Structure formats: C-alpha cells, structure tokens
C-alpha cells in the first residue's frame, strides 16, 4: 500500500488508516486476542496508520498486535506504525495525563500525533487552551510529533485552518454529509470539503473519518471511497475494522485491485446506537417508520432488532451521529 506525507508534518502514513474504536467495548467488544490479531493482520496488508483515543480503551489491542508484528526491540522508528490518539479534556493536567497514559500503555517514548478530541465549535477550541498548551510543550519536547484536532463540524475545520500550531485535522466527511455539523445545525459535504481544502492550502495534514457515514453508506462502498479520496487535501482515510475481510477489501481498493462490481454483503448488518454518544433527544425515535427505537433504562435511545427494518432512515436525523450500522455475525 502506498504511503503519503501527512501535510507538512514529515510523517508518512498509509493511505488507509485503521480506526480502532469499533473493536472496543462500546461496539464489538472483541477479546484482546481477537483485536491484537486484527492489528497484526492490518500491518501485514500494508496499513501502517492507527487511530485511537483515550476513552476508547483500545491501547490494550494495539500494543500486543504491534509487538507480535515487530518483535525486534531495536526496530527503527520509521519502520514502526504511526499512532494518532486523542483526548476530550480541556485542561493542561488531564491532557498531560492522557499523553503519558498512551506512552505507558503503548510502550512508546513518543506518540506521533495527539489531538483535541471532538472539538464542536471555535469557542470550544479556545476554552480548551490548557490542553492545547500542553500539546505545544509536548511537541517541543519530542513527546509527540504533531498536534491537531478531530471534529464533526465544518465551521471548526475552517477555523483551525488559520491556527498556526495546528498540524493536522481529522474531520468527518462522507458523500451524503451524514453527521456533519455547522454550529448548532446540520452541515454539508460540500462545505466540509471546502473547509478541508482551506486546511490543505494552509499546510495542514488531513485524514478523514466516517467515510461510510458510520456504516450507513457501506452498500455504496466504492462510491464512498472514491468521493472522499477525490477531495483535494485529504491525505488518508481512516476506516473502522472488525474483520480481516474488511481489511482485505480496503487494502484492495488502495492497491487498485478491488473488483469493479464489488458490493459488500449487508445481510448481517444491523443498526446500533452508541450509548457513549446518544443524548436522548428522540430524533431517531420520532423518525423511525417501524417503531423500532425505544427509550432504555438509562433514558437513551436503543433499537429493538426484532422489528428494525435496517432502513437507515434514523441515521441522518441524529445530531451527534450516534446511529451506526455494524456487522453482528
């Protein structure tokens, strides 16, 4: 698989990155053995870029997977996989703790990329100045190589294009604009693409998330990947994997060997509401044509799979993209 430079950071990454979130407890809850084997397999297919976050609790899969693939303790740093992690905190102390925790759990003396996680407005970015200040210091000390933000908001993506210290941006983008926000309202794929172009023009590295709209667009597999990879300024796409076959298809796409008529098997795909993201606004419940969404004991939305039609009508109305589609085999 080809490797590309991430903006002007000097960091080289595979065109397809591995989003480690889906294998964790909030979704598939794979065993350590299953998860680390997937990490190892991805490395064997040429994927060298891995995205995670403090609250995902997925470092436990990554270290054993990396160690199994790179048994030589003297492995040169440029041979090792590139890691991006994130922290939701806004304070200096908590960001420092998050970086140190990542270093400890991953057995590294440097994390390639560290981000402010889910920045939802320019004001939110400014309010997290303590965490940002620590990232600047960590970069100066060589503890991290690059710093930046992840966001689902096109206004934030546009804003950080002008922030000098921001090296990389991790925005949500897909062909139908699922999950993209602008201020308090919905955003669009067109406007997020324009914001990404702006980041690129200012030298930022960009890697994209949710290219399949949380799994809701997976049936349009090639169209989704073609759309995002064609956006000027997108250096790489991060995809969540929970099976070796998924890694194979993404690697084949990157290598240009994916069958032109490839269509994913959607028979075992089911809608899922992330309990970490749901805010109980009832938008999905009100939109569901088959009354498959209910309120659980925690006051959050959940899905009754015995009546769910897997139509996906609920996903576009969720303001926090908590609706995803995953394989339940």
All domains in the chain, ordered by first residue? 3-255 (3.20.20.100), 269-327 (3.30.70.20)
List CB contacts of 225: < 8 A, sequence separation 6 or more. 211, 237, 253
Reported for 284-293, long-range contacts at CB under 8 A and 24+ positions apart, including other chains, are 284/314, 284/315, 284/317, 284/318, 284/322, 284/323, 286/317, 287/313, 287/314, 287/317, 288/313, 288/314, 289/313
Q: What is the pLDDT of residues 132-155, one digit of tens each?
A: 999 999 999 999 999 999 999 999
* Structural contact between residues 151 and 171, judged by C-beta atoms closer than 8 angstroms: yes
Count other Cβ atoms within 10 Å, centred on residue 267: 8
Task: Using alpha carbons only, give the angle 244, 260, 231 rounded to the nearest 5 degrees.
Answer: 85
Note the pLDDT of residue 83. 97
The whole-angstrom separation of Cα 193 and Cα 171 is: 10
Question: Quick check: 309 pLDDT over 90?
Answer: no
Q: What is the pLDDT of residues 258-302, one digit of tens each?
A: 999 999 888 778 888 988 889 999 999 998 877 899 999 999 999
Write phi, then psi, for 43 (nearest 5 degrees).
-60, -40
Lowest-confidence range among 8-17, 33-42, 298-307? 298-307
The whole-angstrom separation of Cα 128 and Cα 134 is: 10
Residue 119 pairs in a beta bridge with: none
Strand (E) or helix (H) holding 321: none
Residues in the chain: 329
Note the pLDDT of residue 75. 61
Confidence bin at 76 (pLDDT 50/70/90): low
What's CA 151's distance to the chain center, in Å? 10
The whole-angstrom separation of Cα 289 and Cα 129 is: 44
Look at residues 97, 98, 89, 10 and name the one whose alpha carbon lies nearest to residue 52.
98
* Structural contact between residues 15 and 82, judged by C-beta atoms closer than 8 angstroms: no
Q: What is the pLDDT of residues 94-136, one digit of tens each?
A: 999 999 999 999 999 999 999 999 999 999 999 999 999 999 9
């Amino acid at each position: 698989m080809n490797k590309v430079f991430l903006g002007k950071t000097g960091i080289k990454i595979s065109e397809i990155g591995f989003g480690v979130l889906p294998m964790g407890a909030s979704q598939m809850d794979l065993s350590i053995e299953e998860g680390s084997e997937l990490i190892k397999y991805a490395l064997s297919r040429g994927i060298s870029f891995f995205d995670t976050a403090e609250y995902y609790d997925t470092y436990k899969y990554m270290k054993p997977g990396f160690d199994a693939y790179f048994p030589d303790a003297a492995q040169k740093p440029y041979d090792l996989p590139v890691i991006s992690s994130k922290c939701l905190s806004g304070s200096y102390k908590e960001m420092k703790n998050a970086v140190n925790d990542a270093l400890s759990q991953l057995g590294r003396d440097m994390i390639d990329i560290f981000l402010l996680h889910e920045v939802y407005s320019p004001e939110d970015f400014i309010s997290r100045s303590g965490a940002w200040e620590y990232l600047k210091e960590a970069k100066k000390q060589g503890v991290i190589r690059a710093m930046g933000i992840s966001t689902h908001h096109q206004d934030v993506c546009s804003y950080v294009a002008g922030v000098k210290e921001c090296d990389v941006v991790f925005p949500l983008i897909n062909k139908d604009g699922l999950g993209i926000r602008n201020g308090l309202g919905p955003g669009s794929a067109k406007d997020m693409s324009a914001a990404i172009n702006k980041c690129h023009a200012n030298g930022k590295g960009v890697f994209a998330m949710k290219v399949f709209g949380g799994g809701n667009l997976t049936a349009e597999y090639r169209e989704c990947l073609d759309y995002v990879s064609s956006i000027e300024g997108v250096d790489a796409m991060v995809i969540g994997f929970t099976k070796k076959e998924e890694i194979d298809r993404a690697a084949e796409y990157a290598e240009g060997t994916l069958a032109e008529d490839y269509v994913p098997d959607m028979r075992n795909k089911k809608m899922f509401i992330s309990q970490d993201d749901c805010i109980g606004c009832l938008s999905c419940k009100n939109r569901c044509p088959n009354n498959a969404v209910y309120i659980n004991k925690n006051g959050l939305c959940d899905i009754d799979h015995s009546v769910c039609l897997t139509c996906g009508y609920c996903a576009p109305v969720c303001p926090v993209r908590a609706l995803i589609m995953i394989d339940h085999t």
